[in-house]
Amino acid sequence: MVTTRPCTAACVIDGLLVTLTFYPDNGVLRIADSSGACLRETRWHGSWRALLEEFRGYYEAAENDAARGVDDIVARLGERCADAQRELASA
């Protein structure tokens, strides 16, 4: 059974405090600034744990590269979702 309660976490992306809110029942991921204004909304076709692991990987990569912004992380999440869908299709 999929929960309808959203999962929420706060983190800093490119020096900006953001709030991540993931709705597991429909896969919507909302990234909002500290005032609550929505910066981006996308879909994540995975679990909350997988999403957190992806953000951990993002931070590890960001430590080695220049600072990245919200657009970069949303693009990376989109790539990971596409990869997962291709893996399911080929299985």
Structure confidence by residue, pLDDT tens digits, 39-86: 888 888 888 888 888 777 766 666 666 556 666 776 766 666 555 455
* Alpha carbon distance 35, 56 (integer Å): 24
pLDDT for 2 equals 64
pLDDT category of residue 88 using cuts at 50, 70 and 90:
very low
37/61 Cα distance (integer angstroms) = 27
Task: Identify the sign of the CA torsion 28, 47, 84, 64.
Answer: positive
Which among 13, 12, 46, 14 is positioned nearest to 29, based on CA atoms?
Answer: 46
Q: Quick one: average pLDDT of 27-34?
A: 88
Residue 75's contacts (CB-CB under 8 Å, 6 or more residues apart) are none
85 vs 35, residue with greater confidence: 35
